[in-house]
Amino acid sequence: MKLKTNTQLERAIGKKHASHLQSAIRHTIQRESKSFSRLALQTKVTHKMKNGRLQRLVLESPKHSFVHHYGFEGVRSNSRYLNLKDRNHLGGVRSTYVLNGLAKEIGSVRADEVLAQINF
């Protein structure tokens, strides 16, 4: 049995939670907006590593997905006034506990690394 390094563990944890977060966001978009185009379902979440550690999760989505999330009030280029209400579909991610699970797993891996480096 081959032991994994902390870098490999963090990469696996980041990949797992990025896919969970992506599916949670897509599910929330589908549930909240029936007429939303399929371009909004092109939302992706990827993990980024730096110096052998999980640095962040990156959310990539088309522009109109953010417009629907935050809302828009103003005049478009064709002189039509628009008042789109915010749908807050990205805020529904907080209820999925994906980020709490990520924090717990990364915390346990990094705590083990600190304990391994301490000389008693």
Q: How many helices (H) and strands (E) does the chain have?
A: 3, 4
What are φ and ψ of residue 72, in 5° steps? -150, 135
What integer pLDDT is reported at residue 37 of this predicted model? 62
Does residue 98 lie within any of the structural domains?
no
Q: Could you tell me the two tokens for 72?
A: 């828009």
Q: In the structure, what pLDDT confidence band is assigned to residue 96 with cuts at 50, 70 and 90?
A: confident
Q: For residue range 99-114, list pLDDT tens digits in order.
A: 889 999 999 998 988 8
- pTM for the complete prediction? 0.76
Q: In the structure, what pLDDT confidence band is assigned to residue 1 with cuts at 50, 70 and 90?
A: very low
What integer pLDDT is reported at residue 116 of this predicted model? 82
SS3 (DSSP) at 54: strand
Does residue 54 lie within any of the structural domains?
yes
Does residue 27 lie within any of the structural domains?
yes
- DSSP single-letter state for residue 76: -
Does residue 70 lie within any of the structural domains?
no
pLDDT > 90: what percent of the chain? 28
Q: What separation in angstroms does the CA of 42 have from each of 31, 39, 48, 84, 93?
A: 15, 5, 19, 21, 16
Does residue 81 lie within any of the structural domains?
no
Q: What separation in angstroms does the CA of 98 have from each of 9, 12, 13, 76?
A: 17, 15, 11, 37
Q: For residue range 37-61, list pLDDT tens digits in order.
A: 676 678 899 999 999 899 999 988 8
Does residue 78 lie within any of the structural domains?
no
Does residue 34 lie within any of the structural domains?
yes
Count CB atoms within 10 A of the CB of residue 61. Answer: 19
Does residue 52 lie within any of the structural domains?
yes
What integer pLDDT is reported at residue 12 of this predicted model? 94
Question: How many structural domains are present in the chain?
Answer: 1
Q: Which domain holds residue 28?
A: 6-61
From 11-15, 30-34, 46-50, the region with the lowest mean pLDDT: 30-34
Q: Could you tell me the two tokens for 53?
A: 């550690």
What integer pLDDT is reported at residue 4 of this predicted model? 79
Distance CA 14, CA 18 (A): 6
What integer pLDDT is reported at residue 106 of this predicted model? 93
